[in-house]
Amino acid sequence: MPQWTVEQVLALAPDASSASAGKDLSNPVKWASSGCDSRAAWGEAKGSGAKPYQTSIDLAEPAFKCTCPSRKFPCKHSLGLFIQFAKGELSNGDAPPWVTEWLDKRAGKAEAAQVKKTEAAPDPEAKAKRSAKRSENVLQGFEECESFLMDSVRQGLLANTSDRAWKQMAARMVDAQAPGVARRLLDIADLIGVGPTWVETVSARVGRLYLLIEAFRRIDTLDADLQAEVRTQIGFNLKQEDQLGAEYFPDLWQVVAVANEVDDKLKIRRSWLYGEGCGKWAMHLDFSVGNQSFSYLLSPGTAMYSAARFFQSPTPLRVALEEQVGAPFSFKKAQTISQSISSYATTLAKNPWLAVYPMLISPARLSRIDSSWFITDEEGLSVPIWPGFKLELELLAVSGAEPCCIFGEWDGHALRPRSAWGSWGFMGL
């Protein structure tokens, strides 16, 4: 059974108010009864109903169940109970019948799902047919998208500064089953007319998008890894098992940074990891919809023992993680800007659609020219900080401008800092 920390439990909260309410409910006086065993934790919380809410946690996953009416998941009662468990405040005992019943039901369901999975072997012929149909749809859509891009540069990007046409084309790409291209078009729509250098930014994005369309047209001429990358970029949803490489990397993975993004109702969590033994950078993606919590507990500034499998790509970064066991963060690695940039250039040559690249600068210092901020390494080289980043002063306040490790996402032009650590501790940015 993994060891949980309060921070890890709080990272499961669907929002800040749930985390806060969970902390308040971690007070044992708010519980009529509670306990735990090797499989589960349970408790009866005093609530607004006539009967107390019955809360149970399956510690193996973890999975939660609570009889309260909250739509948030996990609810504040589950979080409050889990915090008590993490603190070791729950006494061991025999699970009450409502807990064992739930656990047995879950075990039954998992078994049934496994049987279904093994029984339902895919029909390779039907699969190939579906894939060919999808490719045809995408290619048809790309004909229209290419004409649209050509028309845009024929008329000139300055001729039409409305984002409407770009959004319409994005909607067309969704119909053509190319959601990855649709996302790129929406990104371009958001950049039209924004800032003094928008024409250059949009030109760059348009150029890369065109290369992606061209690559898909010639996909048969590409090697297998690049084919997989192009399909991923276009938005082909393949089964995770089909995309994963065969090799496992059991290692001590340092969780260097976690970046949260929201795309409509979908929350995306991008965690950056570094394998101590293999010396590889890895990125783990986790998704959640609405008020649901993320499936993985990766807190920045912690570490874990886990076996990672990289997704197929010419420049493997994305990983799937096996069971994790927590460990303290202890990341010490010196890296200069020139080493990072050179590594980025090599990677970009293999994968032209690389959006962001993990960059560590250590030891690093914050520097500035007027109001523009930079990160400078021990060789005196500097890279600009992404202009949308607003936490330079927080970092200065905490670090006191002492040389430290700064980790960020490099996009080829600027670095977006995601975390920093030094003698003063760890800071997520």
Partner 1 sequence: MSTWKQLATQAAVGTKKVPINLDPSLAGYGEGNQEKQLLASLGLSELMQCAGFEPLTSGPKPVEECPKESKPICLKAVQPLKEAFENNLSPAIEEWLELAQRNDLVAPPAVLTLLLDLGSKSSKLRELVRAVLGVRGLWVAEKNDAWFYVFEQQPKVIGTFDEFVALQRIGHKESRQFLTERWSEFAIRLKVRILQEMRLDITVEDEPFLEAALSDPNKDVRLQAAKMLQLIPGSRLVKHAWEAARPCVTYQRSLLRSKMVIELPRSTPELVRDGFGDYDPKKVKGYGQLLLEELVSAVPPSNWNRELRLEPTPMLDAIASVAEKDVLTKALTIATLKYKDADWAEALAIKHSFERTQLVQLLSEARFEHVMLELVQSASRLPNPLESLHALCDLGRAWSPRASLAVWHVLEKYLRTQSKFLYEGQYLRRFPLHFHPSVFPQIDGAKIEHERWPEIWIHWAHVMRIRTELHQSIQ
Please give the Cα distance from 232 to 175 (Å, whole number): 17
Kindly state the smallest distance separating residue 189's Cβ from partner 1, in Å: 16
Cβ neighbours of residue 164 closer than 8 Å, sequence gap 6 or more: none
Q: Does 148 bind partner 1 (CB under 8 A)?
A: no
Size of the site for partner 1 (CB under 8 A): 69
Q: Which is nearer to partner 1, 296 or 389 (CB)?
A: 389
Please identify which residue in the block is written with the tokens 């729509």. 189
- Distances from the Cα of 97 to the Cαs of 56, 103, 357, in angstroms? 11, 10, 51
Q: Does 143 bind partner 1 (CB under 8 A)?
A: no
Q: Which of residues 388-407 bind partner 1 (CB under 8 A)?
A: 393-394, 396-398, 400-402
Q: Which of residues 43-102 bind partner 1 (CB under 8 A)?
A: 46-49, 76
Q: Does 214 bind partner 1 (CB under 8 A)?
A: yes
Q: Helices 198-217 & 124-155, crossing angle to 10 degrees? A: 140
Kindly state the smallest distance separating residue 114's Cβ from partner 1, in Å: 40
C-beta separation of 73 from 57 below 8 A: no
Q: Does 382 bind partner 1 (CB under 8 A)?
A: yes
Cβ neighbours of residue 166 closer than 8 Å, sequence gap 6 or more: 185, 186, 188, 189, 192
Kindly state the smallest distance separating residue 424's Cβ from partner 1, in Å: 7
Please give the Cα distance from 357 to 321 (Å, whole number): 20
* Among 341, 343, 386, 428, contact with partner 1 (rule: CB under 8 A): 341
Kindly state the smallest distance separating residue 338's Cβ from partner 1, in Å: 7
Query: Residue 351 has which token pair?
Result: 């994968």
Sign (positive/negative) of CA torsion 251, 335, 284, 121?
negative
Q: Which of residues 152-191 bind partner 1 (CB under 8 A)?
A: 153-159
- Classify residue 49 as left (phi > 0), alpha (psi -120 to 50) or beta: beta
Q: Which stretch binds partner 1 (CB under 8 A): 245-253, 293-301, 314-322, 346-354?
A: 346-354
Residues that bind partner 1 (CB under 8 A): 16, 20-21, 23-25, 27, 29-30, 46-49, 76, 146, 149-151, 153-159, 199-200, 203-204, 206-211, 214, 337-338, 341, 344-345, 348-349, 352, 365-369, 372, 374, 376, 380-384, 393-394, 396-398, 400-402, 411-413, 424
